[in-house]
Structure 1
């Protein structure tokens, strides 16, 4: 199977970040001198996978709609990795591992220390289910249904970036500290 497309979700309002005292949208907040979203896009580029950014000017009706827009914009993809734009620690190797584990009728879910994370990967067979998502409900129900049918592969990783997102100023501080330690 050819490599899937990474759908980078960047359409949310970032309300929790602003409510926590953030002065800018969380995706524009700086981590070691670079915006959160830039770290994510750099990791995707370094992974060597095709990608599509979902960032409409007016936002969307929620995560489900964002996923649907991304999948519909890439109908010829062999599968999709659904990557929120607020995961600046995600590693290119993790993206490649999720992509490599995909099959047409399979969903791959990365984990860090037994915590389910992102990006889940969806094989081609899941196109209709993903393309029909609406509102703020993501793909969790699709994963649960697939798990019941034995179509989910849980992929253990050593990448904290699959679970460490930026939703608040406190999260931004944690991510920044991890990045700064990694640079030493």
Structure 2
């Protein structure tokens, strides 16, 4: 089976970030001297996985469209890890763990301290369902259907990066403090 690909969702408008006082798109906001998106791209590249970035210019009207575009662009992948681009603390080892746990007929859901996080991994079996998503509806229904069939794997993680996203300016400040504490 071919390796899975990471679909990096970067097509959102970042309206909450701007409304909270941000003067740039949240993915361009600097965190320790680098844009938020660069932190995510660095982690994906360090994980050694193929990836596809879905940008705003892709004609998307929401998360469903973004997922569908990314999956269609990587149709030969062995599965997909759906990763929002606003998770700058995500660790390469976490991406590898989700990819390694993925099977053709499973959905892998990482959890940090009982909170569901990202990336959620989808096996090849889910290509048609993911490629058919549209609008602002993500893959939640696909996950629920897989869970009802016993086709999900819950993966416990100690990586806060799977849940700590950037939605507001305060999140940047919180992450900076968190990284200082982790460095101690």
2:105 equivalent to 1:105: yes
- Deviation track 1:75-95 (CA, whole Å, cap 9, x = no partner) reads 100000000000000000000
For 1:97 and 1:11, the matched residues in 2 are separated by 25
Task: Give the deviation of 1:155 after TM superposition.
Answer: 0.2
- TM-score relative to the length of structure 2: 0.97
Asked whether the equivalents of residues 68 and 133 of structure 2 are also in contact (C-alpha less than 8 Å), the reply is yes
Corresponding residue of 1:95:
95
Asked whether the equivalents of residues 32 and 179 of structure 1 are also in contact (C-alpha less than 8 Å), the reply is no
- TM-score relative to the length of structure 1: 0.97
SS at match of 2:60: coil
SS at match of 2:86: coil
Matched pairs, number: 184
- Deviation track 1:49-104 (CA, whole Å, cap 9, x = no partner) reads 01011114265200010000000001100000000000000000000000000000
Gaps of 5+ in 1: none
Gaps of 5+ in 2: none
SS at match of 2:70: helix
Inter-CA distance 108–83: structure 2 relative to 1 (3 Å threshold) = same
Asked whether the equivalents of residues 116 and 163 of structure 2 are also in contact (C-alpha less than 8 Å), the reply is yes
Task: Give the deviation of 1:110 after TM superposition.
Answer: 0.3
For 1:109 and 1:43, the matched residues in 2 are separated by 18
Inter-CA distance 49–62: structure 2 relative to 1 (3 Å threshold) = same
Runs of 4+ in 1 over 4 A off after TM superposition: none
Corresponding residue of 1:73:
73
